[in-house]
Amino acid sequence: MVPPLKSKFPQFNLLTISITRLCIVLFALFFVIYSDQYTKSIAQKYLSGLSPVSFYSETVIFSYVENSGGFLGMVSEYPWYLQFFLLNICVPLILLYCLYYLLFEKNLPALHITTLSIITGGGISNLLDRIINNGAVIDFIQIRISVFKTGIFNLADIYIIGGSFLLGFLLIKNRSDE
């Protein structure tokens, strides 16, 4: 008798996902996506077509921009086919992998799950924006301190960058604890 073939790929068994993990992931994703999309809708409603609005002696500036060039317009100078590949193929594949990892990776601490869920939620929200806005993401926040000035970004970018720094810190801390 021939033994059954073992697959190299892990089995997708939703019953192996703990309720706690699923709740953490879903809550973080919902919170990040909802808050980002809500702030973008406010920016679109109140800032679109208007001059920038500044606060705190022009430290925080709100202005409406539709960005089709990736984070802070980083890929806007790339040829259209490379932009398409990076933003419409690579990003969704990375986000799908993150979701898979969040749900099925064993021995992932709750803080890592939360942090990676926040990063993934930010990516999903910006991807959703690209789908809704014909390839563009709504950006509306800029910070200026003395001669330092950021590009224009959105709440999802804050979640992605902040979550990435926190995740990096957690990974470095875990290595030093070993």
CB 76 within 8 A of CB 69: yes
Decide if 129 is catalytic.
no
CA distance 16 to 133: 37
Decide if 177 is catalytic.
no
CA distance 118 to 126: 12
Considering the candidates 36, 129, 157, 177, report the single residue annotated as catalytic.
157
Considering the candidates 36, 129, 139, 177, report the single residue annotated as catalytic.
139
Beta pairing partners, 62: 53, 141
CA distance 157 to 125: 10
Type of residue numbered 58? E
Give the closest residue to 94 by CA, choosing from 57, 55, 120, 133.
Answer: 120
Please list the active-site residues: 139, 157
